[in-house]
Amino acid sequence: MTETVSKRDYLKQAFTALFSLYLSVVVFSIEEPRSFSLSTRLRLLDDSVRHPGMPRRIDAPHQERLITFFLCWVAVGIFFLLLRAIERFPRAKRILLTLAGLLALGGLPMALLLTGYGNRTILVVLIALSGLATIINIYFQLPRSDGVALGLLVLYFGLSTFVAWRSWTTFPLGFYALWPGWDWVLGTWEVAKNVYPILGFAFAVVWGMYNRREFAHTATA
């Protein structure tokens, strides 16, 4: 019994951590490609405070990457604490799991759609599929087989990766949660695009496992 509870607790921690991380990555992937992003505004504010009267720099990518890196991890911490607080309310758990599924499966297509990259029709189809899959999994607990569920996730994220490789003429998202100097690989190492589908896949797998355990626990409680 203790071992089962321990496994549920570890899975819960992994679910909350990945939820917080992926949510932060998606939020900043939508926010930061804008021409006047939050990091740009904070950098300009810092320049005006520390160097009043001096001309403001039009571009300071290194400083802005550092600001975004810091903000991203602050957001991860805030999201983690909020999710832990929400998890204490049993009635909110199904809503939380539904939102997690929508984020895990549809977060990347949504970020691309909102930043104006990729084929809009394909991205809308992927978002619709993510919503349908989430509802079926949460409210009908289908598919029953773990192997079939994993296979469908591999198929979905394989399609997402294919769409990403085929439709991104430029790379719209940054490695905001990783070390701020790592964005140089985006121009030299194209396979780095896969960090987003891989992170989404990991979160989706943990989400599916957590959802099944919570459903089984509720059914036997």
Residue pLDDT tens, the chain, 221 long: 444 557 678 899 999 999 999 999 889 888 877 778 888 788 777 777 776 766 656 666 778 888 888 898 999 999 999 999 998 888 888 899 999 999 999 998 888 888 887 778 888 998 999 999 999 998 888 888 888 999 999 998 888 777 766 655 555 566 666 666 655 555 455 666 677 788 899 999 999 999 888 766 554 44
Domain segments of the chain as ranges: 2-220
Tokens of 53: 């009267």
Q: What is the DSSP letter of 216?
A: H
Give residue 204's pLDDT: 95
Determine the pLDDT at residue 6.
Answer: 73
Sign of the CA dihedral with 75 first, then 78, 80, and 85 last: negative
The answer for residues whose C-beta is within 8 angstroms of residue 202's C-beta and 6 or more apart is 18
pTM attached to this predicted model: 0.85
pLDDT of residue 160: 77
- Contact indicator for 37, 97 with CB cutoff of 8 Å: no
